[in-house]
Amino acid sequence: MPQFDRSTLVIVDDTADRESASDGHSRYGAYIAHHADQFHEGGEPLRPTEFAVAAWRTATSPVMAPGYAVVRPDLDRVEVYVGHEGGAQFCAKVGLRHSALAHRLAGRRLDWECAPWSRPGEVWPVLVGPERTDRPAVLVTATVLLPVPESILVTPTAVRPGRALTGEAKAVVAALAEHANRNLAPLVAGLLGGVR
């Protein structure tokens, strides 16, 4: 498991990708080949925003597990999508326990729990709904949106799976991960306020 901290939401590991590749080159490249229809439009290269969406979706869980880009386990999701105005956006879903809320709910409600497979004292535990069902539960999730600057996107030249397309996809995933770690991580840390 990669080592995360407050400033790291996404880790890209080229060494693990190469070492676990059946072709000796890239496990991620094999996933791109398996999802080749998502990396072109009628045989033409995708626009940079759509390419970023396809590259990120393929690089992360649940499509690729473990992912080429591994997202910190306490986050429900970190996705890239095309926004209303056509630009790329990050969307992160962050589970918040009641103790992180400024306004506490009246009465005792069930809350997020650490996943049963989590180790005691884990810094970034996976949160799951409560096992008990004998009283109401209020599970709070914050949605954090972050625009992705066009300057970090890649204009793909390749449409067929292979080293060129894999290289272009890796370049955009690395740029997206760096942008998330630099700009999305502080927003998530501010929400959690050191509470987990």
pLDDT tens for each residue of 135-156 = 888 888 999 999 999 999 999 9
Judged by DSSP in three states, 73 sits in: coil
105: number of Cβ within 10 Å:
12
Measured from the Cβ of residue 171, the count of other Cβ atoms closer than 10 Å reads: 15
The secondary element (H helix, E strand) that includes residue 69 is strand 69-71
Higher pLDDT, 5 or 66: 66
| Listed residue (77, 80, 84) closest to 61, CA to CA | 77
The ranges assigned to domains in the chain are 10-192
pLDDT tier at 9 (50, 70, 90 boundaries)? Answer: very high
Quote the pTM value: 0.89
